[in-house]
Amino acid sequence: MARTTIHDIARELNTSSSTVSKALNDHPSISAATKELIKAAAQNLNYRQNRLASSLRSGRTNIIGILIPSSEIGFFGGVVHGIEKIARSNGYNILLFQSSDTGEYEVEGVETLLQTSVDGIIASIAKDTPTLDHFFDVKKRKVPLILFDRVKDELNSPSVVVDDYKGAFMATEHLIQQGYTNIAHISGPQHIKIFNDRLCGYVDALKMNNLPVNDDLIQYGRNSIESGRFSAERLLGRNKDMDAIFAVEDFTALGALQYLKQNGIKMPEKIGMIGFGNESFSPYVTPSLSTIDQQPARMGEEAFNLFLEAMAKKTAGNNGSAVEEVEEEPKKIVLEPVLIVRESSVKNG
Amino acid sequence: MARTTIHDIARELNTSSSTVSKALNDHPSISAATKELIKAAAQNLNYRQNRLASSLRSGRTNIIGILIPSSEIGFFGGVVHGIEKIARSNGYNILLFQSSDTGEYEVEGVETLLQTSVDGIIASIAKDTPTLDHFFDVKKRKVPLILFDRVKDELNSPSVVVDDYKGAFMATEHLIQQGYTNIAHISGPQHIKIFNDRLCGYVDALKMNNLPVNDDLIQYGRNSIESGRFSAERLLGRNKDMDAIFAVEDFTALGALQYLKQNGIKMPEKIGMIGFGNESFSPYVTPSLSTIDQQPARMGEEAFNLFLEAMAKKTAGNNGSAVEEVEEEPKKIVLEPVLIVRESSVKNG
DNA sequence: ATGAAAGCGCTAACAT
DNA sequence: ATGTTAGCGCTTTCAT
């Protein structure tokens, strides 16, 4: 009835539990014949390793903790998918925690992950985290910490983000190449870095292509569909010759798109449109929405790879050599944004 | 440098580690004063419980394993969100495994979860699982197994699904109430239970409302956007007076919607439309798509509650009373589908 | 190549 | 109310 242990196997074969343990772990000092014997017996007795005991003894769990705002959000679901897939193929499992963008839950999550002795933590930081103490705690414990998307430079951790500036630049330049010349931008709150980055990308793309930057063509919204609708109205009101909009997020673009459609303005003929984020609805609106993809699954993979590197470094550091503990510059991966061209931005479909 | 243990605390306070353990776990036999003292010391020494050791000893991990096809799929992301949220508030954590709808990965996932001694498993079964042996293994180990959405009656496990028949019935009846009378249905492969259930719901709603069931108005598709487009064309070709479509999935509805739009057929005036599944794009297509919501987060919560019940039953069973071990009928929760009315089905908006 | 023995950090039965 | 003790199942050093 009770679970089979290595002792049961040892008894069965008149050998010792340490031999069984070694055989099962393919230790080189055990003969091939013994290994075969032991593995067969294990199979017969329906043995299954107790990972708790193994981890307690060895000090590693092969579990990595993931901390995200919510798996309900498409982007994070995609990242988790990416991490889980590559983690599994490397013998790691995923312990998932959602912060709901709350600092309180985030602290609790980090606490639990540390208690569980996860081998590392991959996190995207909650919006309203008042302090970063809990993350410094992780570093203090020498548990590898990798950040993605919502990163904080103060933590001095390896990270992976998408190049927002470049994505915005690509989006804007794409519109220019399609023949649009009076291109507006609906931005977001400027204290959030990514929105400012995207604004800069927009501005630089115009400059680089010798187009004037017109303040009237820039509208600061609040990142909602409603705000997109409103912003489109305002932009159109003061710019009779506006012929394209680059919106800071697909949701904003969607609102603008709805407004233009309601007012009988043809897209992409009269006004071109491109968003940012490649939301799941974007291919299916009318006209289908051109956008910038942030490669969520890829981001997850890269984050896991950074974790593996950190682990390797940690192991190497433990070899007892008396090298000075120099905190080196952490690796920061910047993913290429991907331009997705659909109907809303192609004048001559 | 090394982690603080209860022994460190005991040494610090000249007491024993068992007292410390009890105090930290709020055991009633420890005086309030001692508890306070010990908790303060723990705080000072930055003590953090080692869950591995605790779990190894106590036999429970407070971790539940989740097995889903993919967190990239919106529905499953929502379910995971629901489970994680309620699990956390009950002191449980989530170990996540994705099968990618592959039997092989699913087997591997179950294996890992059992090795990790999870307290229970909540799973949605992969499409191409050739055998259910791995799940029977779970039951053999007396690990509570809860299924959702993709369930198998043979496993005789508690489960939670949405009432597909009723959802289809509601969708069809809604169209009838809106004044549509020649209502078509785009169905899916009939060997998949949910699609057949939905077909039955459609048929019965017509009958119940004294409308004729016309075979020409039923088209069997393959559950894709493309198939929806094609099906709409076929239906329209042989039914000049068709005035509404109930599609088996939102994706199918979307294809049909695209076809009708391209052919200048006004919705909802000329033809009404409703889908099933409440996909994330559905509110944003034109016209916005009426549909049936499957309550993913709610489904996750209910699944977790079933797990708690199973745990309670298991604990109660262990009290040594000599009751006959009768396998009782497992509880099967059937969630109410929710009708979401949007533009595509409201004639007199 | 194999085995003996110690111990990872904790809990819980049993003394006191 | 507190302390002693044993041991969960495994890995790993050291001896043989």
> With a 7 Å cutoff on the CB, does A3 touch strand D?
yes
**Cross-strand pairs, B121:** B65, B145
pLDDT the model gives residue B191: 83
Alpha-carbon torsion, ordered B182, B188, B190, B195, to 10 deg: -80
Alpha-carbon torsion, ordered A291, A294, A298, A304, to 10 deg: -170
The label of the residue with tokens 């291109």 reads A183
CA dihedral sign, ordered B283, A347, B224, B146: negative
The label of the residue with tokens 């995609």 reads A78
Alpha-carbon torsion, ordered B109, B110, B114, B117, to 10 deg: 60
Chain A: residue nearest B2 by CA?
A141
pLDDT the model gives residue A322: 47
Distance A12 CA to C5 C1' (A): 21
Q: Best of B50, B55, B64, B93 to disrupt the A interface by mutation (most A CBs within 10 Å)? A: B93
Inter-residue contact B150 to B305 (CB < 8 Å): no
pLDDT the model gives residue B322: 46
Q: Best of A57, A90, A93, A288 to disrupt the B interface by mutation (most B CBs within 10 Å)? A: A93
| Architecture in CATH of A164-294+338-345 | 3-Layer(aba) Sandwich (3.40)
Look at B115 and A50 and tell me if their CB atoms are within 8 Å.
yes
Alpha-carbon torsion, ordered B130, B136, B138, B144, to 10 deg: 120
Task: Give A-chain residues touching B61 at CB under 8 angstroms.
Answer: 52
CB contact A84 to B (< 8 Å): yes
A190: three-class secondary structure by DSSP: coil
Section B314-319 average pLDDT: 68
* Sequence spans of domains, chain B: 6-49, 61-161+296-333, 164-294+338-345
Domains B61-161+296-333 and B164-294+338-345 share a fold: yes
Section B216-233 average pLDDT: 93
Alpha-carbon torsion, ordered B241, B247, B252, B256, to 10 deg: 20
CB contact B154 to A (< 8 Å): no
* Nearest nucleotide relative to B20: CA against C1': D2
Task: Give B-chain residues touching A70 at CB under 8 angstroms.
Answer: 81
Could you tell me the fold of the domain covering B6-49? Answer: 434 Repressor (Amino-terminal Domain) (1.10.260)
Closest residue to D11 measured CA to C1′? A57
pLDDT the model gives residue A47: 95
Asked, as a colleague might, if the bond just before A287 is cis with ω within 30 of 0, I would say yes
pLDDT the model gives residue B231: 97
Compute how many other C-beta atoms are within 10 angstroms of the C-beta atom of residue A141.
14
The three-point CA angle B89-B92-B96 to 5° equals 120
Inter-residue contact A50 to B117 (CB < 8 Å): yes
| Protein-proximal positions, strand C, CB < 7 A | 1-13
Closest residue to C5 measured CA to C1′? A18
A150: three-class secondary structure by DSSP: coil
Task: Give A-chain residues touching B112 at CB under 8 angstroms.
Answer: 93
The three-point CA angle A102-A104-A105 to 5° equals 70
pLDDT in tens, A34-88: 999 999 999 999 999 999 999 999 999 999 999 999 998 889 999 999 999 999 9
Distance A118 CA to D9 C1' (A): 20
Distance A317 CA to D3 C1' (A): 41
User: What's phi and psi for A244, nearest 5 deg?
Assistant: -160, 155
Q: Best of B48, B55, B72, B85 to disrupt the A interface by mutation (most A CBs within 10 Å)? A: B72
* Nearest nucleotide relative to A16: CA against C1': C3
Look at A56 and B50 and tell me if their CB atoms are within 8 Å.
yes
CB contact A170 to B (< 8 Å): no
Task: Give B-chain residues touching A139 at CB under 8 angstroms.
Answer: none
Compute how many other C-beta atoms are within 10 angstroms of the C-beta atom of residue A10.
18
| Architecture in CATH of B61-161+296-333 | 3-Layer(aba) Sandwich (3.40)
Give the H or E element holding residue B146: strand B145-148
* Nearest nucleotide relative to B38: CA against C1': D2
> What ranges make up the beta strands (E) of chain A?
63-68, 93-98, 120-123, 145-148, 159-162, 183-187, 218-220, 244-247, 272-274, 291-293, 332-335, 338-340
Report how far residue B248's alpha carbon sits from residue B225's, in angstroms, rounded to the nearest whole number: 11
Report how far residue A270's alpha carbon sits from residue B268's, in angstroms, rounded to the nearest whole number: 27
CB contact B1 to A (< 8 Å): no
Inter-residue contact A265 to A237 (CB < 8 Å): no
B89: three-class secondary structure by DSSP: helix
pLDDT the model gives residue A3: 87
Look at B279 and A279 and tell me if their CB atoms are within 8 Å.
no
Compute how many other C-beta atoms are within 10 angstroms of the C-beta atom of residue A223.
19
pLDDT the model gives residue B328: 78
pLDDT in tens, A314-324: 877 655 444 45
pLDDT in tens, A229-270: 999 999 999 999 999 999 999 999 999 999 999 999 999 999
Kindly indicate the confidence band of residue B3, based on its pLDDT and cuts at 50, 70 and 90. confident
